[in-house]
Structure 1
Amino acid sequence: MWTSYRGRLASILSMRRSAERVTVASVTVGKQLLSTVTTDDLPKLTTMNNGAKAIPTFTKSEMDRRISALRRHMEDQSIEGVLFTSMHNINYFSDFLYCQMGRAFGLVVTMDKVKCIAPLVDGGLPWRRVATGDTLLYTDWHKDNFWRGVQAELGATRGRIGVEMDHISADNLEKLKTAVLGAKPVDVGVPCMQMRMVKSKEEIALTKEGARIAQIGGAVFMDACDVGVSEYEVALRSTQAMVGEIAKAFPNVELMNTWSWCQTGATNTDCAHNANTSRKIKSGDIIVLNCFPMIAGYFSALERTLFMDHIPSDRHLELWDINCTVHRRGLELVRPGVRCCDVATELNELYRPHNLLQYRSFGYGHSFGVISTFYGREAGLELREDVETVLKPGMILSMEPMITIPIGTAGAGGYREHDLLVVTEDGNENLTRTFPLGSEQCVINRNKASI
């Protein structure tokens, strides 16, 4: 089918479009000469098994484990088929991390098949990267061809269809009901989030590598910091080091989405998500180091408070030391059997005597796995006062207390420490524990070696 489509595509490059109809003269399709081709003649669905299959991130047994867990849930809940649309679940269940660019993607799972539905603009990429099942491509030549693909794969299904209610829009829910007559959408977003929260041995091994690489980026970050150097220059050097190391350790993965943030000064450190700017580092600046290597969609992180040359006041030192005390206590609290809310409640009491509780801006940590700034979030595993999830071995989460002291207040700036933890049978393993922490190690002084 692709050979036929390629012949048509070559001709279409020179065609003139009208509002409703396209006509091309003397188009060769295969060995047949057509006098005219209209949009109605162009394919709605196709395939493109181009190139060699990529080496998967995980073993077949690991991917089979994930699909089997999903199918057990489907059987328990009488779900006939599932349509995933999010980047995180499609990646988790197929090993394919899509680039949306305004187009829809889907992963259909039934009891007897797994099929990725992707746009033709992605060419052979989905087929090469999908580690479970097969692929179906839809074209741009007709409106809602994605839903024609869904109909092709789920059209015979009757009854309950699993969707991610936290991702699919109301408009697309209606299109699903039109494509699959009699469909009764039910949520699988929350159950799948719960499946993802406990990591396999392979996922933990990958995250450990991510943590190792984050520390390489952190060391380059600290080395790059100097008076007069811009935030983006520090971040670029750190990111380059991490991408290079990912390429060595994982030669078969796509090198995408790894980044660093160099946040400096009282303003640019005031939140966890301030992007890099052209601001230049000054002597006495508070700096927050952020290193985020991404491997096959899996997120790892390292964050530290730093100061350039010196700590500008006793109040800055006091605030930094308090936050590090909270951080160290948090590391001790993460263990199996403990509720997320209880960790948050106890750490709150460490801030309260110092009148700092009001300067917290988010929870003390969150789950790791298939997440980034663009996708994912296992909200059921957050170290917040309203989350009652009980920690279990195999969960991966951060400990990252932060306080932000407003400009105009003594010690102004954001203070944040972040380590990456795997919950074990009797406590936790801190994957970033060897990186420098606190006022005795993280004052960068170019006149002598950093302490």
Structure 2
Amino acid sequence: MERPDFFELNNGEKVKLPFSDKEYKNRVSKLRDVMSNNNMDMVILTSMHNIAYYTGFIYCSFGRPYGCVVTKDKIVTISANIDASQPWRRSHCNNVIYTDWKRDNFLRAIVSIIGRDDPPKTIGIENDHVTLDIKEKLNSIFSIAIFKDISKHLMKQRMIKSDEEISIIKNGARIADLGAEEIVKHIKPGQSELEIAIAGRDKMEREIAKSYPDAEYMDTWVWFQSGINTDGAHNPKTNRALKNGDILSLNTFPMISGYYTALERTLFVNEIDDASLKAWEANVKVHKRGLELIKPGVKCSEICEELNNLFAELGYLQYRTFGYGHSFGMLSHFYGREAGVELREDIDTILEKNMVISMEPMIMIPEGKPGAGGYREHDILVIKEDGAENITKFPFGPDHNIIKN
């Protein structure tokens, strides 16, 4: 039997995507403007976040390469045969499937899309994602081409959100609040981090399904940490049982079609000692000031500088662990990052309308010191013409989050 290297299969019908066809066409049009301005004949996207951003399709790699070829008049996703027609159904463009029968059929599929008569002279690739192995193979099949990095241009496009994107992000923030409300119902001594996290995750997944009945559901999660486990912002949940006086870190992360949102709160079980209260109040004070500082026209590094000075005045700067906030959009804990919008000392981006950014100060006091634990609050703000809208509604601070049971 002759087995093909690649083929097309439109199995079933196209499904409803998270955004309108107009939205996707607008994104691709802006990508082609970048190509034109940089004299690129073709772009090969390889990352989950950029393929999803421009086509709607979120791939599951499992060790296989995936891609999207964009030319002046074509946009085609390239996927593995293991996924059949799901990539075609879940994208607004065409799709080519490559098979496993021969090594490097992924590359043959790329060539099939553009043909051999007029090979591209300049190709845009994502330097921050393409492996050395893939780059070497691309060099071998496009031997006369010049490769240019396009990743920073794509990031800049993703940093400014459309109205449709802001709508889905606002819904994500709302659902994060619902997950947190459910978690609080289960907080009491003896309950495990794991079981509490499950309750919050299930609540959010069901609400996502209710709000987006045509979506695919994946990657919504909760990190719920207690005691020493609060020292890291990204520590996984464990089976540790809660005790009276424990510091808690509640983190809800609904994922809607690849769009990440987050809510993070410090809480205590039943009671709090004076040193912990003092540290918590200091972090809350910085958080409140940070919320006031986020507005259009302000430089990211300037926000960081002022909050550093405030932490220093309060006596806690030495316990700060990371930047004060980051962008939101097509990203996750395992793909994507809009590093140009982060509240850090080395980022001089000026905030502008339709950027979406968090305020999330954190301090960590090591075990053995008074007030030991990690303290973190986290809200999401949408930059407006003349200010910012806080779309996180769940309350923060000692007045609300000493949970008595």
8 A Cα contact 1:158 1:181, kept in partner? no
CA deviations on 1:284-319 (whole Å, 9 max, x unpaired) are 1000100000000000110000000111x1110000
- Residue 98 of structure 1, aligned match among 46, 59, 82: 59
- Residue 171 of structure 2, aligned match among 192, 209, 213: 209
Structure 2 match to 1:119 = 80
Structure 1 match to 2:233 = 272
Structure 2 match to 1:190 = 152
Shift of 1:179: 2.1
Structure 2 match to 1:254 = 216
- Residue 207 of structure 2, aligned match among 225, 245, 260: 245
Structure 2 match to 1:334 = 294
* TM-score of the pair, normalised by structure 2: 0.98
Shift of 1:184: 1.1
Displaced runs of 4+ in structure 1, greater than 4 A?
A: none
Structure 2 match to 1:148 = 108
The amino acid that maps onto 2:35 is: M
Residues 27-426 of structure 1 aligned to structure 2 (within 5 Å)? 37=1, 41-131=2-92, 133-154=93-114, 155=116, 156-265=118-227, 267-311=228-272, 313-426=273-386
The amino acid that maps onto 1:438 is: G
The amino acid that maps onto 1:109 is: V
Equivalents in 2 of 1:225, 1:83: separation in Å? 48
* TM-score of the pair, normalised by structure 1: 0.88
Shift of 1:61: 1.0
Shift of 1:355: 2.7
The number of aligned residues is 403
| Partner-residue secondary structure (3-state), 2:198 | helix
CA deviations on 1:392-417 (whole Å, 9 max, x unpaired) are 01000100000000011110000000
> Please, which runs of 5 or more residues in structure 1 have no aligned partner?
1-36, 447-451
| Partner-residue secondary structure (3-state), 2:400 | coil
Shift of 1:353: 2.1
Shift of 1:385: 0.4
| Partner-residue secondary structure (3-state), 1:236 | helix
Structure 2 match to 1:27 = none
| Partner-residue secondary structure (3-state), 1:345 | helix
Structure 2 match to 1:439 = 398
Shift of 1:192: 0.4
8 A Cα contact 1:289 1:306, kept in partner? yes
> Please, which runs of 5 or more residues in structure 2 have no aligned partner?
none
| Partner-residue secondary structure (3-state), 1:108 | strand
